[in-house]
Amino acid sequence: MPNVPSFGSHVSGKHKKDFLDGLFPASAFPAPPLGMEGNLGRNTYDNEGYNNVNFTFGKFFSFGDRLKFEARGEVFNLFNRSNLISVQGDLSQGTFGKATSQLPARSLQLHLRATF
């Protein structure tokens, strides 16, 4: 475990581009003296925020007394915002400090049900 870097143990005000380009270089984290443990701690830095808006819509149709239709749709991640995850925390990796994955993009489900 490394020591806390000069910019401290909390990073704020970062944008999506920073998570893609790399929040900080591995060289910013000084190694502790030989035989000592670092003072950084676990889970010190946060990922980018998570934002998601889902939307559901539906409509009922009746044809006479017995035949009824229900049309329904669901949109997940309505605004198609990329939610970055998996910021690399291994100092020995070339992708250290970069987001290496994202949650799924917008998806749509349509349903049609008939009752009679």
Q: Give the strands of the sheet with 55-63, arranged side by side.
A: 55-63, 67-76, 107-115
Query: Does position 41 have pLDDT exceeding 90, yes or no?
Result: no
State both tokens at 35.
């035989």
Average of per-residue pLDDT across 41-50: 80
Average of per-residue pLDDT across 84-107: 90
Query: Does position 43 have pLDDT exceeding 80, yes or no?
Result: no
| Model pLDDT, residue 103 | 93
3-state secondary structure 16-82: HHHHHHCCCCHHHCCCCCCCCCCCCCCCCCCCCCCCCCCEEEEEEEEECCCEEEEEEEEEECCCCCC
Higher pLDDT, 55 or 8: 55
Q: Are 74 and 55 in contact (CB under 8 A)?
A: yes
Per domain, the residue ranges of the chain are: 16-115
Average of per-residue pLDDT across 5-33: 87
Q: Write the single-letter amino acid at 3.
A: N
Higher pLDDT, 43 or 18: 18
Tens of pLDDT, residues 60-89: 999 998 999 999 999 999 999 999 988 888
